[in-house]
């Protein structure tokens, strides 16, 4: 399939920086209370009572039926109590985990709300002046001869205004809930569609892109969001590699899932950073909002899939570099 015309380069670049706002934390499943261990403990206790009775008989001690019953019932009650305590402990642990997950969801929602309020205020107060500044600088840029200091200064103003506007857009989109539409789409077709944009991003570094050409299994998803996912991961790899580096985009089928592998021969991800790669606003770059990988992970989760980092899967020697794997369910 081909990418929609409205998803042009500037729009797709903005989409790649724009995160989504749905909550990735799922609630912990609850299960009814179980007394399986309690009854198992009662049976063991009863068996222990009978075992003590047999030992006493073997020792030549005459034990009445009342004593045997007392031993068996006492041991069975003791075993039942221990099993019940173990079941209660497990239920309390599960409840504590569910409560911790609920607290994380509440904190995440509160953070999204705060970011949304901040973004709305920033957009209202900053976007209009930014538009005026950019328009004025663009007019000056057209009248200034290239190579002069004034031309360079005007171009610098336009570029910085665009960067600030992208940050504001990313903040606004981060607080906006995600509602993907569902239609049949081929992931390999999206890779082919964003390939020219990735090559353009690689041009300053003279990088090389190896992209999948064959069609993969169909998915049920939002083609615009999935294109944003593919381009965002490829752009992240393009920013990570050095001069003359290489990126590979490959679509493959694994069981009932479709996988997209984005590999590069850059420096890779440090072990101390791997656990935080998909956290919002976490970045090791000097510039950027730290929302690119968080955005990609949320798009994958919204489509019933997942995004993960594959250690040692890069294109460099001995697996050096980064390898991100997007796993999405195949269309039924």
Q: How many CA atoms lie within 13 A of 196 on its CB side?
A: 8
The pLDDT of residue 28? 40
CA atoms within 13 A of residue 296's CA, in its CB half-sphere? 25
Write down the domain spans for the chain.
26-177, 179-329
Q: Is 255 helix (H, G, I), strand (E, B) or coil?
A: coil
The pLDDT value recorded for residue 41 is 65
- Give the pLDDT of residue 241: 92
323: which strand partners? 263
CA distance 286 to 289: 10
C-alpha span between 310 and 247 (Å, rounded): 15
List the chain pLDDT tens, one digit each, 332 residues. Answer: 433 333 333 444 444 434 444 433 333 444 444 567 667 766 776 676 666 667 666 666 565 666 666 666 676 776 677 777 778 888 888 888 888 888 887 886 777 677 667 777 777 788 888 888 989 888 888 888 887 888 888 889 999 998 888 877 777 776 667 778 888 888 888 898 899 999 999 999 999 998 865 556 788 899 999 999 999 999 999 988 999 999 999 998 888 888 999 999 999 888 888 888 887 777 877 766 777 888 888 889 888 899 999 999 999 898 899 999 999 998 75
pTM over 0.75: no
Taking the C-alpha atoms of residue 244 and residue 283, their distance in angstroms, rounded to an integer, is 23
Rg from Cα positions in the chain: 30
| Beta-bridge mates of residue 209 | 247
Q: Are 120 and 171 in contact (CB under 8 A)?
A: no
CATH number attached to the domain at 179-329: 3.30.565.10
Order of strands across the sheet that contains 208-211: 208-211, 246-254, 257-264, 323-329, 306-309
60: left (phi over 0), alpha (psi -120 to 50) or beta: left
- CA angle at 303 for the pair 247 and 120, rounded to the nearest 5°: 90
């Amino acid at each position: 399939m081909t990418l929609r015309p409205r998803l042009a380069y500037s729009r797709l670049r903005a989409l790649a920086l724009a995160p989504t706002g749905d909550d990735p934390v799922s609630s912990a499943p609850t299960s009814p209370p179980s007394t399986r261990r309690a009854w198992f403990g009662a049976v063991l206790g009863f068996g222990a009572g009978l075992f003590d009775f047999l030992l006493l008989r073997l020792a030549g001690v005459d034990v009445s039926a009342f004593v045997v019953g007392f031993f068996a019932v006492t041991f069975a009650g003791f075993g039942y109590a221990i099993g019940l305590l173990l079941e209660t402990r497990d239920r309390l642990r599960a409840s504590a985990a569910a409560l911790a997950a609920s607290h994380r969801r509440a904190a995440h929602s509160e953070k999204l709300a705060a970011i949304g309020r901040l973004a709305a205020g920033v957009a209202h107060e900053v976007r209009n002046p930014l538009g005026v500044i950019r328009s004025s600088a663009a007019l000056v840029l057209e009248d200034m001869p290239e190579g002069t200091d004034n031309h360079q200064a005007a171009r610098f103003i336009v570029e910085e205004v665009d960067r600030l506007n992208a940050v504001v857009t990313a903040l606004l989109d981060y607080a906006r809930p995600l509602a993907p539409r569902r239609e049949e789409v081929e992931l390999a077709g999206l890779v082919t569609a964003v390939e020219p944009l990735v090559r353009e991003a690689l041009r300053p570094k003279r990088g090389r892109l190896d992209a999948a050409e064959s069609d993969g299994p169909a998915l049920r998803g939002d083609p615009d969001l999935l294109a944003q996912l593919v381009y965002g991961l490829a752009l992240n790899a393009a920013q990570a590699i050095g001069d003359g580096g290489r990126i590979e985009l490959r679509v493959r089928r694994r069981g009932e899932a479709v996988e997209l592998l984005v590999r590069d021969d850059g420096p890779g991800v440090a072990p101390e950073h791997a656990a935080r790669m998909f956290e919002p606003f976490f970045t090791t770059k000097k510039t950027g909002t730290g929302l690119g990988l968080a955005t990609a992970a949320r798009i994958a989760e919204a489509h019933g899939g997942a995004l993960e980092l594959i250690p040692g899967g890069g294109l460099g020697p001995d697996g050096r570099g980064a390898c991100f794997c997007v796993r999405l369910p195949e269309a039924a």
